[in-house]
Amino acid sequence: MRKLLWLLVVPALLSSGAAAQPRNFSEGRGLGIGLQAPCAISIRYWMSDERGLEGNFLLLTDNVCLAGKALFRLGDTSNFDLYALAGAWYLSLYDESRLQVFALAGMELSISRNLAINLEFGESLGFDQRYEFLISTGIHFYFQR
């Protein structure tokens, strides 16, 4: 009787441990709405688990910030992702305007299935041939595909 009990209990315990494994929070994400520096408003859309698009904007009377990004996921764990991104942004503050293209690396930490914070950093090149180091951070609320 004890052997039969062990044969039933041990597989049940092992299978319950497998079910308790952390799931991948970023899997199946679609539309994300949030805040992203420097532009403020951010709309991010993951078309698949590997590729996404993002648009950022801030439109005020004397300030305009517009950015477009293509995102490519490079690494994926249950709650931490690495991605590369490329894009362009336009910034107009009072009398100064800039248009730059950039290539960045990004990290996204999932707090829950629907909420993630990110950090992006890399180089930008302006049309005035000036390189700049960029760093950006944000938070997004995601809906599932």
**Domains, the chain:** 24-144 (2.40.160.20)
Among candidates 38, 10, 36, which has minimal Cα distance to 140? 36
Look over the chain and give the mean of its residue pLDDT values, rounded to a whole number. Answer: 86
For β-strands 63-76 and 115-126, DSSP reports them as unpaired
Which H or E run contains 49? none
For β-strands 96-110 and 115-126, DSSP reports them as antiparallel
Sign of CA dihedral 25, 28, 32, 36: positive
pLDDT of 31-69, one tens digit each? 999 999 989 999 999 999 999 999 999 998 888 999 999
Beta bridge partners of 82: 75, 107
pLDDT of 77-108, one tens digit each? 999 999 999 999 998 988 788 899 999 999 99
